[in-house]
Amino acid sequence: MDAEDPVTAIRNIGPAQAAQMARAGIPSATALRAMGADAAYLAMLRSGTEPHFIAYYVLHMALQGRPWNDCKGAEKAALRARFDAIKGEVGGVRGDAALERILDQIGTGLRR
């Protein structure tokens, strides 16, 4: 990662997600912003990151400078549809969509 422009400089992105981005070839905050959330998440899945809806929408919120838990209602539903489509592009990734939806409703996730 670029020490001058770390992805962790972006609100809501911590060391674990930064490591996943590094494995996906996303070296900096500038590169992440240029890619956008969907392309970055797709690259992360292709490099071995397990799919997780909350991580996906947190990435969207991060790139908008919003709190991670600011995603609600119709916006969250639209992001869920995009997440499912991205997951489908990769194919063969694990993840129980029904379980993820239930855990999302109560504010937790598969990997905490």
Q: What is the DSSP string of 14-65?
A: -HHHHHHHHHTT--SHHHHHHH-HHHHHHHHHHTTPPP-HHHHHHHHHHHTT
pLDDT digits (tens, 9 = 90+) for 26-45: 999 999 999 999 999 999 99
Report, as an integer, the average pLDDT of 56-85: 94
pLDDT of amino acid 33 = 97
- Cα within 13 Å of Cα(76), Cβ side: 14
Rounded CA-CA distance 17/1 in Å is 12
Q: How far is CA 20 from the centre of its chain?
A: 10
49 neighbors 35 (Cβ within 8 angstroms): no
Band of the pLDDT at 112, cuts 50, 70, 90?
A: very low
Please state the pTM of the whole predicted model: 0.78
pLDDT attached to residue 23: 96
